[in-house]
Chain A
Amino acid sequence: MGKNKKYLFIGMVWSIIRSIEFVRLSDKQEGIAAILIQFGFDKPHFTTGYLTLILYNLFPILMFQMIFGIRIYKHFVVANAYYFSRVHNKDNWYRKEVATLLIESLVYNIFYYGTATILLYVANKGSLDGNVFYVLLYSILYSWLYTFTTTLLINLLAIRLGSHNSFILVYSIQLISIASLLVYDERFPLHGFLKMLFQLNPISNLILSWHSTGDAAVNSMIHIHNIDFPLLQSILYFIVIGAMITAFGIVLIKKVDIALDQKEVQG
């Protein structure tokens, strides 16, 4: 119920921890936009060391998944018969739960990036110029959509498989997506099947530095390795995946039997 809302502030706490790292780097005036890019995987290379850093940068999202990954699922476990015998329209109920998760994941990411921006500004790490808002917008958008999609997937898979298996599956997909980036080498241009796989990798779409934009100033900060995801392409990617997972949930919720598990076949 509403108790989980206090965990949204974890985004703020983690943001403060990360920001201190950059504030302590003293006189280096990278600019706030450049620092924010580092929150979301700066100048990534295809090395095991860097891929470990990706995991570290994913930590706030992983924490949200851990806390909210059973937000919807818990209604199917505790007091399920008494709850759902009163829910008269499961479709509307599901839509409301999805909308709430969408808002919570947005607020969490706003807290995360917003807190960092404010702290860095107060610590004189740069000015709040147009580049900062540009980077902030896309960072929040990518992170929000990824957070929402993966957390919803954990919830829905838990209804079918149990929370244990659901977490293992989604976390494994994320780790494999990160590890699979080792196939690539920045010395060789991406093309063909490998490029398609790269573009379909959810972690690739999360990394701002593998995108390009028409804004020259921002492009010079983010664009490396001649990997050219258009910024909007990745947003579309996450929206499509999110919509597919949401639709899967609509079908699942309609068909699921409440208060039924293997042990109770003998009921």
Chain B
Amino acid sequence: MVELVADNITKVIKSKKVLDQINLKLEGGNVYGFVGRNGSGKTMLIRMLAGLIHPSEGKVLYNGKQVHKEIAYVPNLGVVIENIGLYPEFTGYQNLMFLAKINNQIGKKEIEEAITRVGLDPFDKRNFGKYSLGMKQRIVLAQAFMEKPDIILLDEPTNALDESGVDLIRSIILEEKKRGALVVVASHNKQDIDLLCDSVYYLRDGKLVDQVGVTE
């Protein structure tokens, strides 16, 4: 079972502690919620767990191995970061194909299935730049799910989605949990947290201030 640990993580940016001594242990087969106001550190913590940024202090451990030291990256990862899109000059399919070719784990069939799974047409000729906000969100989610990763980190996954889109993404998250993936959902949406999460971490000013349903 996959395990991701934040061991006393602190991140300082321009003298400001944006994450302050965060400790948590996450395991596969669960959905974890990160809750907090703007500026609480949710997105920063997602970036940290994804291995995209370096801690100022502390470490991230993937199955016991320290990221950036013993291993260079977090393997088998799918991530969605709020406000980061895809290449606007390519179609949704072309975007996913470009990303899939980096590791060559999947082919055309899996990409088409991933796009269909989030309720979009894989043969849509429009470029990503022309998509509606909801379509953009769906295709970004598709890239996170397409390689069936062990770890899925989602920052505000239901942003810009209509009601049917929200229901669809929630059901996909639960399917991924059933598959054994470790899923993290950072969200302002109380319903997302209540319906999806086995455990919830509350953040304020970069600190972990409360945790509910967490077992050590």
A244 within 8 A of B: no
Shortest B53–chain A CB gap in Å is 4
Cβ–Cβ contact A85 & B50, under 8 A: yes
Cβ–Cβ contact B143 & A88, under 8 A: no
Residue of B nearest to A79 (CB): B86
B64 within 8 A of A: no
Residue of A nearest to B19 (CB): A267
Please measure, in the bound complex, the distance between the C-alpha atom of A88 and the C-alpha atom of B74, giving whole angstroms: 8
Q: What band does the interface of chain A fall in when counting residues whose beta carbon is under 8 Å from B?
A: 20 to 34
Please measure, in the bound complex, the distance between the C-alpha atom of A87 and the C-alpha atom of B98, giving whole angstroms: 12
Cβ–Cβ contact A85 & B86, under 8 A: no
Q: Take A81-B81, A82-B84, A84-B52 as given contacts and tell me if A267 and B42 are in contact as well, using a CB distance cutoff of 8 Å.
A: yes
A257 within 8 A of B: yes
Please measure, in the bound complex, the distance between the C-alpha atom of A84 and the C-alpha atom of B72, giving whole angstroms: 11
Q: Take A82-B84, A84-B52, A259-B52 as given contacts and tell me if A267 and B99 are in contact as well, using a CB distance cutoff of 8 Å.
A: no
**Chain A contacts with B in 21-69, Cβ cutoff 8 A:** none
B181 within 8 A of A: no
**A79, A88, A258, A259 — which one has the most chain B CB atoms within 10 A of its CB?**
A79
B30 within 8 A of A: no
Please measure, in the bound complex, the distance between the C-alpha atom of A85 and the C-alpha atom of B73, giving whole angstroms: 8
A89 within 8 A of B: yes
Interface of A is mostly: loop
**Chain A contacts with B in 217-267, Cβ cutoff 8 A:** 255, 257-260, 262, 264-267
Contact stretch, chosen from B1-9, B10-18, B21-29, B158-166: B10-18
Shortest B139–chain A CB gap in Å is 11
Cβ–Cβ contact B103 & A86, under 8 A: yes
Cβ–Cβ contact B85 & A88, under 8 A: no
A195 within 8 A of B: no
Cβ–Cβ contact B85 & A78, under 8 A: yes
Cβ–Cβ contact A83 & B102, under 8 A: yes
**Chain B contacts with A in 39-55, Cβ cutoff 8 A:** 39, 41-44, 47, 50-54
B72 contacts which of A86, A88, A260 (Cβ < 8 Å)? A88
> Which residues on A are within 8 Å of B, measured CB to CB?
1, 78-90, 255, 257-260, 262, 264-267
Give 27 A-B contacts (CB < 8 Å), ordered by A residue. A78-B85, A78-B88, A79-B85, A80-B84, A81-B47, A81-B52, A81-B81, A81-B84, A82-B84, A82-B99, A82-B144, A83-B102, A85-B52, A85-B77, A86-B99, A86-B103, A88-B73, A88-B103, A89-B72, A260-B13, A260-B52, A265-B13, A265-B14, A266-B38, A267-B18, A267-B42, A267-B43
